[in-house]
Every structure is written in C-alpha cells, then in structure tokens.
Structure 1
Amino acid sequence: MKKHYLLPLLVAAAVLVSGCQAAKATSTTSQTAPVTPSDMFTDRDLEVGYDETTAAAITLSGSTASCDSDAVTVSGSTITITDEGTYLLSGTLDDGMIIVDADDTDKIQLVLDGASIHCEDCAALYVRQANKVFVTTAADSQNTLSGGETFTPLDDNNIDGVIFSKSDLTLNGLGTLTVESPAGHGVVTKDDLAITSGTYVVNATGQGLSGKDSVRIADGTFTLTTGKDAIQSDNTEDTDKGFVYLAGGTFTITAEGDGMSASSWMQVDDAACTITTGGGSVNGETHTSDTAPGGMGGGKGGRMPLTDDGTAPPDGSTQPPERPTGETPPDGMEPPADMPQDAAPTDNAMASDAAADTTTAAADSADTSTTDTVSTKGLKAGTALTILGGSFTLDCADDAFHSNGDLAVSGGTAIIQTGDDAFHADGALTVSGGKIDISTCYEGLEGLTVTVSGGDINIVSSDDGVNAAGGADQSGFGGNGQDQFAAQNGVYITISGGNLTINAGGDGLDSNGDLTVSGGTVLVSTKDGSADSALDYNGSASITGGTLIGAGSSGMAQNFGETSTQGAILLTVDAQAAGSTVSVSDSSGNVLTSWEAPQSFSSVVISCPGLEADGTYTVTAGTSSTQVTLDGPLYGSGGTGHGGMGGNRGNRGEPVQDTAAAA
C-alpha cells in the first residue's frame, strides 16, 4: 500500500491558486471585473494525490462488488457509500451503479483506477447527498462510465446523466475518464461542477458537461461530442449563478447545440478550443432581405444582395425587383442621375421590404415563443462574455461568440467560420487586443456599440464588416419601428487603435448612430455597383487620427463629417479591378499610405496622418490618378446618413494626365 502524491501538479496548482481556499465565486452577473482562479478553485479541487493506505478499496466484479469498509454497502450490483473518506474503485461492473448517500457535511473522494461501470437504466454514478464529491482518475488509468437507452427514476430526482450529482462535484486526476451516454447527458450536477485536471472523452445525446450553478475548468483535455450543448451552466432561479469559467484546458468539441453556454456570464482566461456547432458554418441560416438599399429597416444595416451584373434576379429571390420602364418613384425618392441603377431604391423595393419587415417581425415574435429552437453558437453568455486569452478555432452554424449583454475581447487568437455573426453583443462589443481571423461570416463585429482599441482583425463577411445597431438580436438587429434614417441614441462605432481589415459583401463600417476614428489602421473593401459603401452612418462621423482606406461603390459613398481634424478625401473614380492599389502621395511624391483593394471599386475614401488643409495630394486608384487640393479637412462630401439615399457622390478632382508618372 502506498501514498500517491503528484508533486509537479501540486506545485502548478499552488502557483495557480496561491493557497486559495475559496469554494464559490463572489462575482455578480454584471461581472464588473474579471475573476481569477483563486476565486474559483479550492486547494482540494486541485489536489489529485490520495493515500492508498487509508483508502477503502472497492473491487468491481461483473454483477457485484466487494469492500471491507463499513461505509460501503453492496446490494447485488448497487454499491452505496455513506460516509466521508477516500474510496478506490477498480474492476468492471456490467450493469450496476455507485450511489453516494452521505451526510451533507461529508466530503468524499472516489479514485478510479481501471474502473468500468455500466448502468443500463440509470446513472453509473449517482450522488444523492454529500457536501462535495471528488472523482479522481489515477495516473495513466483508463476508466469508463456508461449508460443505456433509458433513465429509470430511483427517487424524486430526475436522473438524466451517466454521472448525476445533487452536490458539488469536482473531477481531477492524471488518468482518462470516458463517459458514454446514448440516452441523456454525460456529467450533470445540480450545484457547481469543477474540473481541474485529467483527460475526458464524453459522447452524449444530451449535454456533455453541465453544472446548474457553474462550470469551472482549470485545466484538462476534453473531447466532447454531444447532441445538445457540450458545456452548459443554466440557473434560471439565481441570476448570480449559471456561469462558465475557463482558466485553461484543451477542448475539441462537436456539438449539435452550443459549444459552451452560460445563462449568466462566461470568462475565458487561457484555453485551446476547437469547436464545431450545428454541423458548421455551411449549415448556417439563409439570410434573406434585412433591409432595402440605403439601410432601410435599421436592421443589421445590410442590403439586399445584387446579382453580379446588376440585373434583377428571378422571382422569389431576395433581390430587389427592377422598376418597370417609365415608372416614377415617390416624391423625394428619385436617386441622383449618376447613381448606378442597381443601387437606386425603388418603390417596389420599398414595398417588398415593408412586407419583409412585417414577416420578420412575425417570425421574431414566433421565435420568442418557441422553446425547441436549437441554438448552435460557439461560446454564448446571457449577461457578459469576456475573452482574456486562449486560442479558438470555431466553425459554427450560428454566432461564434455571442452575448445577450456585453462582450469584451482583450487577448487570444481566433480563427472563425460562422453562418451568422463572428462576434455579437446585444450591448457593448469591445476589442482591445488579440488576433482575429474571420474567413466566413454574415457580419464580423456587431453590437449596440462597437469599440476597437487594439488587436489584429481580419474580416471577410457576406454582409457588413462592422455593424452598430439598436434592437434585440434575432439573427441580427431586426426592424424595430424606428425612423430608418434617424441616428439611434447610444449607438456608435469607435476605432482608436489596432489593425482592422474588412472584405465585405455589405457595408464596411455601418453605424445606425455615430462613427469615430482616432487611431489604428482600417482597410475596407466593399462590392462595386451595389447599394453598399465603405462608410455608412446615420449620425455623425469624425476622424482625428489613424489611417483609413475605403474602396467600394460610388452611389452611396460617404465621407467623414466636419468635426474631423485629420484630412479625408472622397473620390469617384473610373471602375477599377480587384487587386488595384489605392494610394495617396504628397506634393513631393512621398507615399503617405497605400493598399491593394481585394474587390473592384469605383469610389475611394482615404484619410491618414499627413493630410492637411491647403495641401495638394495625388490619389492613385489603379489606373486612375487624381490631384486634390484640401481647402479644409474634407474633400468630397458624399451622402448623409446611410448614403443619404444617394446624396452627392465624391468629387472627381483634377485627373493627372501622366498616370504612370503620377503613380
């Protein structure tokens, strides 16, 4: 007999918690400050050692078991533990279960060392009562707990997991635990679930890891394949609970529901997450018309997509209908003569959108009353989602990162494919650091407010790259009955730092309120010949620093506003091919900034340090070069508010005769 002490792990644990003893988090659902591991884990949560000389050995033998401890009762294939202590389980139980039924002050450690337990009609491990139960896998051991096709009630508790606990539950160790649940959940506790070490493989038709009050993970390796959420905490009775906290760990998740879901807040400090939900982004919702050209509907700020050649699509598609020849639009709705026909809103399009908005509203109303709609998001939080670090490879049918409140990203790396938004917050979305690569999404960053102060962000979107809009999320901010062109109070996009590159099928930066740029580098490409533009805002727009280049369609183009203190130039140019270089040079020929636009374009908006009033500059866009003199901070006014229904297009300036020399 011997004592098992895992010194390397204990040293790491001591560093992690600094001698902490806290068992419960004290933070509220608002999570005004990030929590730390010392708030989440006790010393014993992290302790994986055990004293074999004092442990009670339970030997599993097919249809029965044996044990010398008075605290263990064996009745056929049911083993019941009734007192505090450490219990060492080994062997195979073909069809039976372990029940923990002790005093509510007792702490019990179950050490699995080559244990295989199958229960055909109930939980393989059922914790009916205890203060806390620790399930520890012995070093290098392989252990399996499995269930059958049904869960038969034993008492008043609704047992629906292979591991089912009414008390706090901690999983740890240096071995492997496999949980197979063909009829329900994998691991369930109606209190707190803490996992601090070990390797876990969970296959479940329901949820993988579920803690009603919380799920807290310090470390471990997880392979979770689930028919519902892979990791979930959901407490509708106490809004201070129902949270998920990850200090570390490596996760490979394939879920038909959400990857990770918390009814209140979620925080990730440092974890490696590979998550596929709902079959991946290829199974995302088909996005139909959210709004008419020019941002009608106040939705995601998206537009009806157009065919590549600008012609009307077949009946039944989501494209705006072509106006019959000779038909006159309503008063005040005539687009300017130089607007591309495919960018002009028509009265038929307006009527179509009104009907679409009604249908959407009805659908949204129906969604709120439907309880069996499957959510397929990557990481989802009810009140706040905080990403401090980690690595994420996400392929999700719905949003990759989603919060019904605020969402903050300050570190980590993310590679994202999603059928909807990459990052969505009903409240404030802030990005202050990290590296984000979004190769597939409907919209990249979306929130009531969007603030970017740092990070390297690359977005390829089928609709808007960045969108700030009011309203509740329903596959985007749907029509909310507000004036479609009025600036919404408290809605804004603010960029003060970082590097942001956008390749958008809709607008690049779309705010139903204000737009402010004071730093960073922003490179925006949108589709030419469409109703979308690099900048699209309803309120005011100001640039006081940083570098911005936008290339896209000319019909709805906007420049920054008069409160800008850094020069900004908006130009209409001859149609330029994808891959053309946009640059601006001063009168001495010094290139101030340049970029290759990935999509074709006919309009350029450009601002960077060095553009000053009374200066003369040459803007080169592919084969077109234009000389511009700034009388004030702005050249080319563009439209006003979501393209101003066409407004003024950017000035053309004075063409440079020798394009090659000017370039």
Structure 2
Amino acid sequence: MRSPKYYLLVPILAGGLVLAGCAVTSTDSGSGSETSSSSSSETTADLVPTASVDVTQTAAEVLAANQKTHTTADDSADDAAWSEADSTAIDLDDESGTVTISEAGTYHLTGTLSDGQVVVNSTGDGQVKLVLDGVDITSSTGSAISIVAADEAAVILADGSTNTLTDAASYADADADTPVAALSSAADLTITGTGALDVTGSSNDGISSKDGLVIAGGDITVDAQDDGIRGKDYLVILDGTISVTAGGDGLKSDNDEDAARGYIAIEGGAVTVDATGDGISATTDVVTTAGSLDVTSGGGADQTVADDASAKGIKAGAIIVLGGGDVSVDAADDAVHSDNAVHIADGVVSLATGDDGVHADDALLVSDGTLTISQAYEGLESSEISVAGGTTSVTASDDGVNVSDGSGGSEMGGGAPMGGGPDQAADAAAEDAADAAADDAAATDSADTAATGDMTLTISGGTLTVNSEGDGLDSNGSASMTGGTVVVNGPTGSGNGALDVDSGFDISGGSLLAVGSAGMIVAPDADADQASISATLDSSHAAGSAVTVTADDGTVVASFTATKEFASVVSSSADIVNGQTYTVTVDGSAAGTAVAGEQTSEMGGGMGGGGTPPSR
C-alpha cells in the first residue's frame, strides 16, 4: 500500500490540523461548514417548449440530441477502477471536523466521522475519486460529503462495503453554489462500484449534483426530506440497485436554461421510487431503454392529490420515450405525463393512476411494447393519439381513449411537493399557477362538444383493448383506422358510448368490435372503404354472454365473450360486406340485426346518422 500523503501532522491552528505535504486538510467543525448550501435560491422556473416535439423519435434519437454525459457505459469500468497502491488512505477514525481534499487523485476513505464532513475543493485539472470503504459520516452543520469544486468527481463504493451518509437537519452556512444534500456536488459526478450506500437527506435532498449525475453501479438507498436524487443538467442511471424514498420528487433533473439539458435516462439497473411528489420529474425529457423502474407517487392510485400538489409518476416538459425495460407506476396523479409528447416504443409498461394513465398535451404514440393501464380515470389522453403497434390494454372509470385539447397550459410545474425541504415553498409558487390554469382549461374542454381543431385518433396497427365506464374511444375531432385490432367494452350507462367521434370516423382496414349501452351508439362512416355494422339489441345482456355476429350465409364475422353488460354492437372487418344483413346472437338466441353500411346512431347522431354525439 502506498504511504498516506499526510503522515506528518503539524498543529498550526487551535482546534485544527493541516496534513502536511498533501491535498488533504482537517479543520474543526466548530469553525462552520465550508460547503453547506441552500437550494431555496435555485427556484426552478418552468421551461415550456416553444415548438412541437416529434413524437416518433426513438430513445436513441432523443438521447443523441441531448447534452452528452461526462461518462458513458463504456467508461464505467475506468471510473470504478482503483488500487490501494495508487490511492491516498484517509482513516476517518483519526479525523474530526472538516476533512478537505484539494487536489485531483484517488482517496481511500474508511472509518467514522461522527460530526464532520468531507469536502472536495480541487480547482485544478483531473478527476477526484473518493473510494468509500465502510465509512459513516454524519454532519451537524451541512453535507456529509460536499464537492465544492472538481474537474470531475467519482464516488466509488468499494466491493463488500456498507457506507452511510447523513447531513444536518439545518445548515449552518448556506452556499447557493452548492446544493443542500447529504451527498452534494457542484461538479459532474459519477457514482459507481459494487458496495452499498445509505443516504439520509435530513434537510433537503439525498444526492444532488449541480451539473450532471451518472449512476453506474452500487446498492444505493436514499431517504430524503425533499428530492431523492437530482442531477441538474442530467440524471443518467446505467446500472445498480437504487431505492429512493422522497418527501418531494424521487428522481429529478431541472435545468431550465438549455433545451439539451434537464433530462433523465434509465438505461439499466433496478430503480424503485416512492415519492410524496412526482416520482420522476424532468424539465425536458425522460427516456427508458433497459432495466426496471418501479414508481409510487403520492401514495398510489387510490389517494387524492391536493389542488396545490403534484404526484405524477413520470413527468417531463418535452418528450417521454419508454423504449425498453420494465416500467411500473402507481400514481395518485397522472401515471405518465408530458407537456408535449409521449412515445411508448418498447418494453413492458404497467400503470395505475387516480387520473390519466398516459397524458400528452400535444401527441401520444404507441408503436410497440406492452402497455397495461389497470386503473385510471381516463386511459390515454392527448390532442393527437396514434396506435401503430404493440399491445395496449386500458381500464378506465371514464374515457378509455380521449382525444381532446384539454391540457391548457404547461403542467410541468406540477404543484408543491407535500414533504419537507427549504425549497418547496418556492417551487410551489411557480408550479401552482400552471396547474390551476391547466385544470381550468381541461374542465372547459370537457363541456365543449364543438371543439374539433386538428384533434385526431389514428389506429394503424397493434392491439388495443378498452374497458371503460365513460366513452371507450372518444375523439373530439376525427378518427381513422387502417389496421390493427380494437376491442371496446364500453359503458353500461346511456350517457356515454363505446365510440364517440365528433368529426368523421373513417375505416379502411383492421378489425373493430365495440359493445356498450343502447343510449348512445356511434359507428364508423357509412361510406368508409371498409364496411361496418351497428346493431341495437333487443335488451341489455349480461356480462359473460357468448356473442356472435353472423352473415346471412352463415359466415361468422365476429365472436366474443362480453366482459360487462351491453345492449349494442358495432363491428367492422374485411369480412363484412356492405348491403348484407348480419345477425347478432347472444347465448344462442338472435338479439338483433343490422345491414352493413346502413348504420344509424342513437342520442344525437354520430357517423352515419348525422349530428354530433355528446362528448366529454
């Protein structure tokens, strides 16, 4: 092992030590923290996108357009590499107060610092590596580890080690340039290694970098009064097992000055978040490509969110691309929410929410993967919704799919987190106004049955299954279907319909089956390229009934088992021929007939009968 640089101890100050001939000093904690700070001065203003985002972007395309990270997966092995021979040993059992590291290099930390902190203040070039090997650091004045300055910093969790960091409940000397967090960095920070790290953010955040933050390994547990893990410019998780409990937001990136920053990417590892506020909150983008992500926000889907609060599962200002891995969200507010666009591109996504399953102000695309919304008020909601592939299942207490322009302004602020932390009141002031405006606009749109604009529902592939108590497919504009399979188990009440389209429903391919109440029936356009039937049955029939739709020549064009009570059937497929009569049979008995291409609509019309059906 290499000899420590500071083996010659020269007392020069009362209550303090200078470790001679090296880049490490130790000062008594009574002199005050050199690095503590308050993030209350860093109130985040909403970065509202000024232009529409291309919803077809892949995860790789979104990441390529953003600021490049200071380290990558290919570099992670180098970041984690260290040797005792080439490091400076620091036994915290022999230290007190503040231990300051002032030069680049590798520092091997062991032992306990019961009331003090480790400060990195390296103004020269080169990376500072802190190897935590069984350390326990508690500060009564500020951060446990504070990186005030460094060209770049890495925290390495030594193999087999357990490390604990706890900051002060209140900071003695706040510094606006350094975040308030148990592990705080004003420089780009990498956390790697195979050991364990337990972090308690007693005052504000758990782990926070004012620049970029990359987590490439480790078993990391964070319990924070406010935000759990924050990388202002970006937060990228490449690997590791990460568990976050947060009184504010769980994972956060909030640079609002550069459209290429303020993003979060999950590219591996196993991440679990339980947040009182938003589970994941990014000013610009959220991207997943691999690994697993399990988010609970606001106590879950059965909880109520206060008017001045936000408890969304995954939230972004520009685009969310779920492009791989397993994603599970249980949210009191929207499970997935973007002020602009959402693309479900791959992976397995499971959502439960007290509000919208997936909400995008401008555009929502499902192109691949498996999306299951098991509980929601409305399942999919956006001005433009496209289903081009994948397998999507939606259960909603109101509309299953809702195409509407009801988002109003930006919801990026989201409201005040409902936990501690000195910066929450400031966050709330900026966030509450945005939420209130958005909610008011949404309520207005729900009552506006004439709004159509450019709102569209487009189905070109994949499988979409809807079980709704409100409208099954509701478009306040137009709808078109060219491929794919759609099955709608619509409402049992007469005030909504399995289909509700205000401005034309064109169908030229695919398979559509929609069942619901008899009070409101809407079918695709009678003159569409692909024929459809719309049948009002003789009575309501029970869930579990076996249903077939049969042509006069005995050809069965559709068959299914009803999942709920129903009194109407709408069907369209390549097997249906205009002008032919079709019989709907329920449990072996004829329950209704319809002539293809002669569909009518109930309660105010719809496609084929004229008029505009009621819509939300």
Matched, 1:53 2:85: yes
Judge conservation of contact 1:202–1:223 (CA < 8 Å) in 2. yes
1:35 to 60, 67, 79: 60
Q: Which amino acid aligns with 2:550?
A: S
CA-CA distance at 1:274 after TM superposition: 1.5
Render the CA deviation track for 1:481-533: whole Å, top value 9, x for unaligned.
79933352210111111111111010000000001112111111222232100
**DSSP-derived class of the 1:283 partner:** coil
Judge conservation of contact 1:556–1:645 (CA < 8 Å) in 2. no
Partner residue, 1:291: none
Distance 1:471 1:439, change over 3 A: closer
Q: Which amino acid aligns with 2:84?
A: E
Partner residue, 1:271: 291
Q: Number of matched residues?
A: 524
2:135 to 109, 115, 122: 115
Provide the rounded CA distance (Å) in 2 between the counterparts of 1:641 and 1:96: 71
Provide the rounded CA distance (Å) in 2 between the counterparts of 1:143 and 1:87: 15
Distance 1:476 1:518, change over 3 A: farther
Partner residue, 2:545: 580
Provide the rounded CA distance (Å) in 2 between the counterparts of 1:516 and 1:266: 29
Partner residue, 2:533: 569
Matched, 1:381 2:319: no
1:411 to 346, 354, 360: 346
Provide the rounded CA distance (Å) in 2 between the counterparts of 1:237 and 1:104: 27
**DSSP-derived class of the 1:145 partner:** strand
Provide the rounded CA distance (Å) in 2 between the counterparts of 1:91 and 1:547: 67
- 1:87-126 pair list within 5 angstroms: 87-103=107-123, 105-126=125-146
Matched, 1:550 2:514: yes
CA-CA distance at 1:442 after TM superposition: 0.3
Judge conservation of contact 2:299–2:331 (CA < 8 Å) in 1. yes
Partner residue, 1:165: 185
Partner residue, 2:104: 84
Judge conservation of contact 1:560–1:634 (CA < 8 Å) in 2. no
Judge conservation of contact 1:112–1:136 (CA < 8 Å) in 2. yes
- 1:223-372 pair list within 5 angstroms: 223-285=243-305
Provide the rounded CA distance (Å) in 2 between the counterparts of 1:409 and 1:280: 22
Partner residue, 1:626: 592
Partner residue, 2:39: none
CA-CA distance at 1:197 after TM superposition: 1.2
Provide the rounded CA distance (Å) in 1 between the counterparts of 2:457 and 2:273: 33
Provide the rounded CA distance (Å) in 1 between the counterparts of 2:518 and 2:531: 20
**DSSP-derived class of the 1:50 partner:** coil
Partner residue, 2:386: 451
Provide the rounded CA distance (Å) in 2 between the counterparts of 1:531 and 1:405: 31
Q: Which amino acid aligns with 2:130?
A: L
Partner residue, 1:325: none
Judge conservation of contact 1:29–1:241 (CA < 8 Å) in 2. no
Partner residue, 1:497: 461
1:442 to 377, 385, 388: 377
Q: Which amino acid aligns with 1:80?
A: T
Provide the rounded CA distance (Å) in 1 between the counterparts of 2:172 and 2:582: 79
Of residues 268-277 and 501-510 in structure 1, the stretch that sits farther from structure 2 once superposed is: 268-277
Identity of aligned residues (%): 36
Distance 1:477 1:423, change over 3 A: farther
CA-CA distance at 1:275 after TM superposition: 1.3
Partner residue, 1:148: 168
CA-CA distance at 1:228 after TM superposition: 0.7
Partner residue, 2:157: 137
1:524 to 482, 488, 491: 488
CA-CA distance at 1:88 after TM superposition: 0.6
Q: Which amino acid aligns with 2:88?
A: A
CA-CA distance at 1:389 after TM superposition: 1.0
Provide the rounded CA distance (Å) in 2 between the counterparts of 1:118 and 1:647: 64
Partner residue, 1:296: none
Partner residue, 1:335: none
Provide the rounded CA distance (Å) in 1 between the counterparts of 2:388 and 2:179: 48
Partner residue, 1:321: none
CA-CA distance at 1:480 after TM superposition: 4.5
**DSSP-derived class of the 2:302 partner:** helix
Q: Which amino acid aligns with 2:464?
A: L
**DSSP-derived class of the 2:346 partner:** coil
Q: Which amino acid aligns with 1:580?
A: S
Render the CA deviation track for 1:292-330: whole Å, top value 9, x for unaligned.
xxxxxxxxxxxxxxxxxxxxxxxxxxxxxxxxxxxxxxx
Partner residue, 1:599: 564
CA-CA distance at 1:581 after TM superposition: 2.8
CA-CA distance at 1:459 after TM superposition: 1.2
Distance 1:166 1:461, change over 3 A: same
Q: Using structure 1 for the length normalisation, give the TM-score.
A: 0.75
Provide the rounded CA distance (Å) in 2 between the counterparts of 1:253 and 1:404: 22
CA-CA distance at 1:141 after TM superposition: 1.1
Judge conservation of contact 1:151–1:159 (CA < 8 Å) in 2. no
Provide the rounded CA distance (Å) in 2 between the counterparts of 1:409 and 1:647: 30
